[in-house]
Structure 1
Amino acid sequence: MTQKVIIFDFDGTIADTVDALVSIANRLALEFGYVQITQQELALLRNLTSREIIKYSGISVFKIPFLVKKVKAELKNKIHEFKPIPGIQEALIELKSQGYKLGIITSNSKDNVHEFLKCNNLANLFDFIYSGVTIFGKRTIINNVLRQKQLKPNEVIYVGDETRDIEASKKANIQVIAVTWGFNSSEVLAKQKPDFLIHHPSELLTVLNNK
Protein backbone atom coordinates (compact mmCIF):
# COMPACT_ATOMS: atom_id res chain seq x y z
CA MET A 1 0.00 0.00 0.00
CA THR A 2 1.66 3.19 -1.19
CA GLN A 3 -1.25 5.62 -0.98
CA LYS A 4 -1.61 7.27 2.40
CA VAL A 5 -3.82 10.17 1.34
CA ILE A 6 -7.26 9.79 -0.23
CA ILE A 7 -8.76 12.87 -1.89
CA PHE A 8 -12.52 12.82 -2.45
CA ASP A 9 -14.74 14.81 -4.71
CA PHE A 10 -17.73 16.11 -2.71
CA ASP A 11 -20.97 16.42 -4.70
CA GLY A 12 -22.20 13.02 -5.84
CA THR A 13 -19.26 11.19 -4.24
CA ILE A 14 -19.74 11.96 -0.53
CA ALA A 15 -22.91 14.08 -0.51
CA ASP A 16 -26.11 12.92 -2.19
CA THR A 17 -26.68 16.24 -4.02
CA VAL A 18 -27.02 15.27 -7.69
CA ASP A 19 -30.83 15.59 -7.84
CA ALA A 20 -30.69 18.95 -6.07
CA LEU A 21 -28.01 20.20 -8.46
CA VAL A 22 -30.13 19.22 -11.47
CA SER A 23 -33.14 21.00 -9.96
CA ILE A 24 -31.11 24.18 -9.31
CA ALA A 25 -29.59 24.04 -12.79
CA ASN A 26 -33.07 23.88 -14.30
CA ARG A 27 -34.23 26.89 -12.29
CA LEU A 28 -31.26 28.91 -13.54
CA ALA A 29 -31.51 27.81 -17.18
CA LEU A 30 -33.30 30.88 -18.50
CA GLU A 31 -30.98 33.30 -16.69
CA PHE A 32 -27.83 31.65 -18.06
CA GLY A 33 -29.08 30.79 -21.53
CA TYR A 34 -29.27 27.02 -21.68
CA VAL A 35 -32.15 24.56 -21.96
CA GLN A 36 -33.71 22.82 -18.97
CA ILE A 37 -32.93 19.15 -18.44
CA THR A 38 -35.77 16.65 -18.76
CA GLN A 39 -35.54 13.24 -17.08
CA GLN A 40 -34.92 11.70 -20.51
CA GLU A 41 -32.09 14.14 -21.17
CA LEU A 42 -30.60 13.50 -17.74
CA ALA A 43 -30.14 9.85 -18.67
CA LEU A 44 -28.36 11.00 -21.83
CA LEU A 45 -26.16 13.50 -19.98
CA ARG A 46 -25.01 10.86 -17.51
CA ASN A 47 -23.40 9.10 -20.50
CA LEU A 48 -21.51 12.19 -21.69
CA THR A 49 -18.15 13.52 -20.57
CA SER A 50 -17.99 16.88 -18.79
CA ARG A 51 -16.83 18.59 -22.01
CA GLU A 52 -19.63 16.98 -24.01
CA ILE A 53 -22.23 18.11 -21.43
CA ILE A 54 -21.14 21.75 -21.71
CA LYS A 55 -21.22 21.53 -25.51
CA TYR A 56 -24.66 19.90 -25.42
CA SER A 57 -26.10 22.50 -23.05
CA GLY A 58 -25.06 25.41 -25.23
CA ILE A 59 -23.96 27.50 -22.24
CA SER A 60 -21.14 29.95 -22.81
CA VAL A 61 -17.94 28.81 -21.09
CA PHE A 62 -17.50 32.40 -19.86
CA LYS A 63 -20.77 32.17 -17.93
CA ILE A 64 -19.87 28.98 -16.11
CA PRO A 65 -17.97 30.56 -13.15
CA PHE A 66 -20.98 32.83 -12.52
CA LEU A 67 -23.35 29.87 -12.77
CA VAL A 68 -21.24 27.88 -10.30
CA LYS A 69 -21.27 30.81 -7.87
CA LYS A 70 -25.06 31.02 -8.04
CA VAL A 71 -25.47 27.26 -7.63
CA LYS A 72 -23.27 27.31 -4.51
CA ALA A 73 -25.39 30.11 -3.06
CA GLU A 74 -28.59 28.12 -3.65
CA LEU A 75 -27.05 24.96 -2.19
CA LYS A 76 -26.19 26.89 0.97
CA ASN A 77 -29.91 27.26 1.73
CA LYS A 78 -30.48 23.51 1.47
CA ILE A 79 -27.18 22.09 2.73
CA HIS A 80 -28.65 20.97 6.07
CA GLU A 81 -31.16 18.79 4.17
CA PHE A 82 -28.59 16.70 2.31
CA LYS A 83 -27.44 13.28 3.44
CA PRO A 84 -24.29 11.27 2.75
CA ILE A 85 -24.33 8.65 0.01
CA PRO A 86 -25.54 5.42 1.70
CA GLY A 87 -22.53 3.51 2.99
CA ILE A 88 -19.97 6.31 2.55
CA GLN A 89 -19.94 7.32 6.23
CA GLU A 90 -19.03 3.80 7.35
CA ALA A 91 -16.33 3.55 4.67
CA LEU A 92 -14.81 6.93 5.65
CA ILE A 93 -14.74 6.01 9.34
CA GLU A 94 -13.01 2.72 8.58
CA LEU A 95 -10.45 4.32 6.26
CA LYS A 96 -9.67 6.94 8.90
CA SER A 97 -9.25 4.23 11.55
CA GLN A 98 -6.79 2.45 9.25
CA GLY A 99 -4.57 5.52 9.24
CA TYR A 100 -5.42 7.14 5.92
CA LYS A 101 -5.48 10.92 5.67
CA LEU A 102 -8.70 12.07 4.00
CA GLY A 103 -9.24 15.28 2.05
CA ILE A 104 -11.79 16.91 -0.23
CA ILE A 105 -11.39 18.87 -3.46
CA THR A 106 -14.60 20.49 -4.66
CA SER A 107 -16.08 23.23 -6.80
CA ASN A 108 -18.69 23.65 -4.05
CA SER A 109 -17.92 26.23 -1.36
CA LYS A 110 -15.86 25.44 1.72
CA ASP A 111 -18.67 26.79 3.90
CA ASN A 112 -21.19 24.41 2.31
CA VAL A 113 -18.86 21.43 2.75
CA HIS A 114 -18.05 22.30 6.36
CA GLU A 115 -21.75 22.71 7.17
CA PHE A 116 -22.64 19.40 5.52
CA LEU A 117 -19.87 17.56 7.37
CA LYS A 118 -20.89 19.12 10.67
CA CYS A 119 -24.59 18.27 10.17
CA ASN A 120 -23.72 14.65 9.39
CA ASN A 121 -21.04 14.09 12.05
CA LEU A 122 -18.24 13.73 9.48
CA ALA A 123 -16.19 16.84 10.26
CA ASN A 124 -13.53 15.06 12.30
CA LEU A 125 -12.69 12.65 9.47
CA PHE A 126 -11.09 15.11 7.04
CA ASP A 127 -7.63 16.64 7.23
CA PHE A 128 -8.17 19.27 4.53
CA ILE A 129 -10.78 20.78 2.19
CA TYR A 130 -9.85 22.69 -0.97
CA SER A 131 -12.44 24.61 -2.97
CA GLY A 132 -12.14 26.20 -6.40
CA VAL A 133 -14.19 26.98 -9.50
CA THR A 134 -12.89 24.49 -12.02
CA ILE A 135 -14.42 23.51 -15.32
CA PHE A 136 -11.70 21.23 -16.67
CA GLY A 137 -8.97 22.34 -14.28
CA LYS A 138 -9.13 20.08 -11.24
CA ARG A 139 -5.59 19.07 -12.10
CA THR A 140 -4.44 22.56 -11.04
CA ILE A 141 -6.04 22.19 -7.61
CA ILE A 142 -4.72 18.62 -7.22
CA ASN A 143 -1.20 19.82 -8.04
CA ASN A 144 -1.58 22.71 -5.57
CA VAL A 145 -2.61 20.27 -2.84
CA LEU A 146 0.33 17.97 -3.61
CA ARG A 147 2.72 20.91 -3.43
CA GLN A 148 1.26 22.49 -0.29
CA LYS A 149 1.01 19.18 1.56
CA GLN A 150 4.41 18.06 0.20
CA LEU A 151 2.93 14.86 -1.18
CA LYS A 152 4.31 12.68 -3.93
CA PRO A 153 1.82 11.53 -6.61
CA ASN A 154 2.30 7.89 -5.63
CA GLU A 155 1.16 8.68 -2.07
CA VAL A 156 -2.26 9.94 -3.20
CA ILE A 157 -5.37 8.43 -4.75
CA TYR A 158 -8.41 10.38 -5.93
CA VAL A 159 -12.06 9.31 -5.65
CA GLY A 160 -14.69 10.95 -7.87
CA ASP A 161 -17.93 10.43 -9.78
CA GLU A 162 -17.31 12.36 -13.03
CA THR A 163 -15.16 11.93 -16.13
CA ARG A 164 -13.34 15.18 -15.34
CA ASP A 165 -12.16 13.64 -12.05
CA ILE A 166 -10.52 10.82 -14.00
CA GLU A 167 -9.02 13.20 -16.55
CA ALA A 168 -7.58 15.53 -13.88
CA SER A 169 -6.13 12.66 -11.83
CA LYS A 170 -4.38 11.18 -14.85
CA LYS A 171 -2.89 14.55 -15.75
CA ALA A 172 -1.67 14.92 -12.16
CA ASN A 173 -0.16 11.41 -12.34
CA ILE A 174 -2.19 10.06 -9.42
CA GLN A 175 -4.36 6.96 -9.38
CA VAL A 176 -8.12 7.39 -9.49
CA ILE A 177 -11.10 5.42 -8.23
CA ALA A 178 -14.25 6.23 -10.23
CA VAL A 179 -17.55 5.69 -8.41
CA THR A 180 -20.81 4.89 -10.17
CA TRP A 181 -23.23 6.21 -7.53
CA GLY A 182 -22.84 9.88 -8.54
CA PHE A 183 -23.49 11.76 -11.76
CA ASN A 184 -21.76 9.94 -14.62
CA SER A 185 -22.81 6.46 -15.69
CA SER A 186 -20.71 3.36 -15.21
CA GLU A 187 -20.33 3.07 -19.01
CA VAL A 188 -18.86 6.52 -19.65
CA LEU A 189 -16.62 6.29 -16.59
CA ALA A 190 -15.26 2.94 -17.77
CA LYS A 191 -14.44 4.44 -21.18
CA GLN A 192 -12.14 6.94 -19.44
CA LYS A 193 -10.15 3.99 -18.03
CA PRO A 194 -9.90 4.83 -14.33
CA ASP A 195 -7.54 2.69 -12.27
CA PHE A 196 -10.55 1.29 -10.41
CA LEU A 197 -14.31 1.44 -10.98
CA ILE A 198 -16.54 0.72 -7.98
CA HIS A 199 -20.29 0.56 -7.39
CA HIS A 200 -20.61 0.81 -3.59
CA PRO A 201 -18.64 2.70 -0.92
CA SER A 202 -17.70 -0.55 0.83
CA GLU A 203 -15.58 -1.40 -2.24
CA LEU A 204 -13.26 1.50 -1.34
CA LEU A 205 -11.95 -0.63 1.51
CA THR A 206 -11.46 -3.65 -0.76
CA VAL A 207 -9.56 -1.65 -3.38
CA LEU A 208 -7.31 0.21 -0.94
CA ASN A 209 -6.56 -2.78 1.27
CA ASN A 210 -5.58 -4.92 -1.73
CA LYS A 211 -3.22 -2.39 -3.30
Structure 2
Amino acid sequence: MTQKVIIFDFDGTIADTVDALVGIANRLATEFGYAQITPEQLTLLRNFSSREIIKYSGVSLIKIPFLVKKVKSELKNKIYELKPIPGIKEALLDLQESNYKLGIITSNSRDNVTAFLSINDLDNLFEFIYSGVTIFGKTNIINSVLRQKQFKPDDVIYVGDETRDIEASKKANIRVIAVTWGFNSPEVLLKQNPNFLINHPKEILEVLRTNH
Protein backbone atom coordinates (compact mmCIF):
# COMPACT_ATOMS: atom_id res chain seq x y z
CA MET A 1 0.00 0.00 0.00
CA THR A 2 1.32 3.44 -0.96
CA GLN A 3 2.31 5.65 1.96
CA LYS A 4 0.10 8.73 2.16
CA VAL A 5 1.69 12.18 2.30
CA ILE A 6 0.50 15.09 4.44
CA ILE A 7 1.97 18.48 3.54
CA PHE A 8 1.60 21.24 6.11
CA ASP A 9 1.71 24.99 5.88
CA PHE A 10 3.82 26.45 8.70
CA ASP A 11 2.66 29.92 9.81
CA GLY A 12 -0.72 29.75 11.51
CA THR A 13 -1.03 26.01 10.92
CA ILE A 14 1.84 24.54 12.95
CA ALA A 15 3.28 27.66 14.59
CA ASP A 16 1.17 30.34 16.26
CA THR A 17 2.76 33.27 14.44
CA VAL A 18 -0.20 35.58 13.71
CA ASP A 19 0.39 38.03 16.59
CA ALA A 20 4.15 38.14 15.95
CA LEU A 21 3.64 38.77 12.23
CA VAL A 22 1.12 41.55 12.89
CA GLY A 23 3.58 43.19 15.30
CA ILE A 24 6.36 43.01 12.71
CA ALA A 25 4.07 44.32 9.97
CA ASN A 26 3.17 47.30 12.14
CA ARG A 27 6.82 48.11 12.84
CA LEU A 28 7.55 48.07 9.10
CA ALA A 29 4.48 50.12 8.14
CA THR A 30 6.26 53.46 7.81
CA GLU A 31 9.19 52.00 5.87
CA PHE A 32 6.93 50.34 3.30
CA GLY A 33 4.22 52.98 3.20
CA TYR A 34 1.09 51.35 4.59
CA ALA A 35 -1.12 51.93 7.62
CA GLN A 36 -0.58 49.98 10.84
CA ILE A 37 -3.03 47.16 11.52
CA THR A 38 -5.52 47.83 14.32
CA PRO A 39 -7.38 44.97 16.07
CA GLU A 40 -10.49 45.99 14.14
CA GLN A 41 -8.63 45.89 10.83
CA LEU A 42 -7.16 42.48 11.68
CA THR A 43 -10.68 41.11 12.06
CA LEU A 44 -11.49 42.57 8.64
CA LEU A 45 -8.30 41.20 7.04
CA ARG A 46 -9.07 37.68 8.27
CA ASN A 47 -11.99 37.73 5.84
CA PHE A 48 -9.81 38.76 2.87
CA SER A 49 -7.90 36.62 0.40
CA SER A 50 -4.17 37.28 -0.10
CA ARG A 51 -4.90 39.36 -3.20
CA GLU A 52 -7.52 41.40 -1.37
CA ILE A 53 -5.13 42.06 1.54
CA ILE A 54 -2.43 43.38 -0.80
CA LYS A 55 -4.95 45.55 -2.63
CA TYR A 56 -6.34 46.84 0.68
CA SER A 57 -2.85 47.67 2.02
CA GLY A 58 -1.93 49.75 -1.01
CA VAL A 59 1.61 48.32 -1.02
CA SER A 60 3.15 48.25 -4.49
CA LEU A 61 3.60 44.75 -5.94
CA ILE A 62 7.22 45.71 -6.59
CA LYS A 63 7.77 46.17 -2.86
CA ILE A 64 6.10 42.92 -1.77
CA PRO A 65 9.17 40.62 -2.18
CA PHE A 66 11.29 43.07 -0.16
CA LEU A 67 8.61 43.30 2.53
CA VAL A 68 8.35 39.50 2.73
CA LYS A 69 12.13 39.19 3.06
CA LYS A 70 12.22 41.80 5.83
CA VAL A 71 9.37 40.12 7.72
CA LYS A 72 11.19 36.76 7.62
CA SER A 73 14.36 38.40 8.90
CA GLU A 74 12.51 40.10 11.77
CA LEU A 75 10.66 36.89 12.64
CA LYS A 76 13.98 35.09 13.07
CA ASN A 77 14.55 37.16 16.23
CA LYS A 78 11.24 35.95 17.68
CA ILE A 79 11.52 32.23 16.97
CA TYR A 80 12.24 31.41 20.62
CA GLU A 81 9.05 33.22 21.67
CA LEU A 82 6.75 31.37 19.27
CA LYS A 83 4.65 28.41 20.39
CA PRO A 84 3.09 25.52 18.49
CA ILE A 85 -0.65 25.64 17.89
CA PRO A 86 -2.29 23.88 20.89
CA GLY A 87 -2.78 20.22 20.05
CA ILE A 88 -0.67 20.22 16.87
CA LYS A 89 2.28 18.34 18.37
CA GLU A 90 0.05 15.50 19.54
CA ALA A 91 -1.68 15.41 16.15
CA LEU A 92 1.66 15.24 14.31
CA LEU A 93 2.88 12.42 16.55
CA ASP A 94 -0.34 10.49 15.91
CA LEU A 95 0.06 10.97 12.16
CA GLN A 96 3.66 9.77 12.23
CA GLU A 97 2.71 6.72 14.30
CA SER A 98 -0.05 6.01 11.78
CA ASN A 99 2.62 5.81 9.03
CA TYR A 100 1.88 9.07 7.23
CA LYS A 101 4.79 10.82 5.54
CA LEU A 102 4.88 14.44 6.79
CA GLY A 103 6.34 17.50 5.10
CA ILE A 104 6.17 21.30 5.11
CA ILE A 105 5.77 23.82 2.29
CA THR A 106 6.06 27.40 3.49
CA SER A 107 6.65 30.96 2.36
CA ASN A 108 8.64 31.45 5.57
CA SER A 109 12.40 30.83 5.54
CA ARG A 110 13.76 27.33 5.98
CA ASP A 111 16.05 28.58 8.77
CA ASN A 112 13.09 29.95 10.73
CA VAL A 113 11.12 26.73 10.31
CA THR A 114 13.95 24.37 11.24
CA ALA A 115 14.85 26.50 14.28
CA PHE A 116 11.25 26.47 15.50
CA LEU A 117 10.91 22.72 14.98
CA SER A 118 14.14 22.05 16.86
CA ILE A 119 13.22 24.28 19.80
CA ASN A 120 9.84 22.57 20.14
CA ASP A 121 11.06 18.98 19.65
CA LEU A 122 9.24 18.61 16.33
CA ASP A 123 12.28 18.28 14.08
CA ASN A 124 12.15 14.48 13.82
CA LEU A 125 8.59 14.44 12.49
CA PHE A 126 9.04 15.92 9.01
CA GLU A 127 10.73 14.21 6.09
CA PHE A 128 11.01 17.34 3.95
CA ILE A 129 10.76 21.13 4.22
CA TYR A 130 10.41 23.36 1.15
CA SER A 131 10.54 27.13 1.35
CA GLY A 132 9.71 29.60 -1.40
CA VAL A 133 8.77 33.26 -1.79
CA THR A 134 5.26 33.42 -3.20
CA ILE A 135 3.03 36.46 -3.29
CA PHE A 136 -0.27 34.80 -4.09
CA GLY A 137 0.15 31.06 -3.82
CA LYS A 138 2.21 27.90 -3.60
CA THR A 139 1.10 25.96 -6.66
CA ASN A 140 4.52 25.95 -8.33
CA ILE A 141 6.23 24.76 -5.15
CA ILE A 142 3.63 22.03 -4.59
CA ASN A 143 4.01 20.82 -8.18
CA SER A 144 7.79 20.88 -7.84
CA VAL A 145 7.63 18.76 -4.67
CA LEU A 146 5.27 16.28 -6.33
CA ARG A 147 7.70 15.89 -9.24
CA GLN A 148 10.88 15.69 -7.16
CA LYS A 149 9.44 13.25 -4.64
CA GLN A 150 7.45 11.36 -7.29
CA PHE A 151 4.27 11.69 -5.26
CA LYS A 152 0.95 10.95 -6.93
CA PRO A 153 -1.61 13.74 -6.34
CA ASP A 154 -4.14 11.18 -5.08
CA ASP A 155 -1.74 10.21 -2.28
CA VAL A 156 -1.19 13.78 -1.06
CA ILE A 157 -3.27 16.12 1.08
CA TYR A 158 -2.38 19.68 2.10
CA VAL A 159 -3.18 21.28 5.46
CA GLY A 160 -3.30 25.08 5.65
CA ASP A 161 -4.98 28.09 7.24
CA GLU A 162 -5.28 30.54 4.33
CA THR A 163 -7.33 30.90 1.17
CA ARG A 164 -4.15 30.76 -0.93
CA ASP A 165 -3.44 27.27 0.49
CA ILE A 166 -6.81 26.09 -0.82
CA GLU A 167 -6.31 27.77 -4.21
CA ALA A 168 -2.82 26.31 -4.64
CA SER A 169 -3.89 22.80 -3.65
CA LYS A 170 -6.79 22.82 -6.08
CA LYS A 171 -4.55 24.00 -8.93
CA ALA A 172 -2.11 21.20 -8.08
CA ASN A 173 -4.99 18.68 -8.04
CA ILE A 174 -4.46 17.60 -4.45
CA ARG A 175 -7.00 17.59 -1.65
CA VAL A 176 -6.85 20.21 1.07
CA ILE A 177 -7.81 20.41 4.73
CA ALA A 178 -8.48 24.02 5.73
CA VAL A 179 -7.97 24.81 9.43
CA THR A 180 -9.81 27.50 11.37
CA TRP A 181 -7.16 28.17 14.04
CA GLY A 182 -4.87 30.26 11.82
CA PHE A 183 -5.18 33.52 9.91
CA ASN A 184 -8.25 33.35 7.67
CA SER A 185 -11.76 33.16 9.10
CA PRO A 186 -13.88 30.00 8.72
CA GLU A 187 -16.33 31.95 6.57
CA VAL A 188 -13.80 33.01 3.93
CA LEU A 189 -12.18 29.55 3.95
CA LEU A 190 -15.55 27.93 3.25
CA LYS A 191 -16.07 30.21 0.26
CA GLN A 192 -13.02 28.58 -1.34
CA ASN A 193 -14.64 25.14 -1.01
CA PRO A 194 -11.87 23.14 0.67
CA ASN A 195 -12.29 19.38 0.74
CA PHE A 196 -12.45 19.55 4.53
CA LEU A 197 -12.70 22.28 7.17
CA ILE A 198 -11.61 21.48 10.73
CA ASN A 199 -11.45 23.32 14.04
CA HIS A 200 -8.84 21.33 16.00
CA PRO A 201 -5.62 19.49 15.09
CA LYS A 202 -6.94 16.18 16.42
CA GLU A 203 -9.49 16.23 13.58
CA ILE A 204 -6.76 15.80 10.93
CA LEU A 205 -6.30 12.09 11.62
CA GLU A 206 -10.07 11.62 11.94
CA VAL A 207 -10.57 13.11 8.46
CA LEU A 208 -7.81 10.97 6.97
CA ARG A 209 -9.07 7.74 8.50
CA THR A 210 -12.58 8.43 7.28
CA ASN A 211 -11.67 9.55 3.76
CA HIS A 212 -8.50 7.71 2.75
TM over 0.5: yes
Contact residue 47 and residue 187 of structure 1 kept, 8 A: yes
Report what 2:136 is aligned to.
Answer: 136
Cα distance between partner residues in 1 of 2:2 and 2:88: 22
Q: 1:150-202 CA distances to partner (integer Å, 9 max, x unpaired)?
A: 01111100000000000000000000000000000000000000000000001
Runs (4 or more) in structure 1 with deviation over 6 Å come to none
Equivalent pairs, count: 211
CA offset digits 1:97-149 (Å, max 9, x no partner): 00000000111110110000000000000000000100123000000000000
Q: Which amino acid aligns with 2:11?
A: D
Counterpart of 2:179 in structure 1 is 179
Matched, 1:122 2:122: yes
For the pair 1:15 / 2:15, whether they are aligned, the reply is: yes
Q: Which runs of 5+ in 2 are unaligned?
A: none
Residue identity in the other structure for 1:141: I
Q: 1:62 to 1:86 in 2, by over 3 A?
A: same
2:3 touches 2:101 (CA, 8 Å); kept in 1? no
8 Å contact 1:2–1:154 — kept in the other structure?
A: no
C-alpha separation between the residues in 2 aligned to 1:28 and 1:73? 12
After the TM superposition, which residues 19-38 of structure 1 pair with which residues of structure 2 at under 5 Å, given as runs? 19-38=19-38
Q: CA RMSD in A?
A: 1.1
1:6 counterpart residue number? 6
TM alignment of 1:1-211, pairs within 5 A: 4-211=4-211
Mean CA deviation greater in 29-38 or 181-190: 29-38
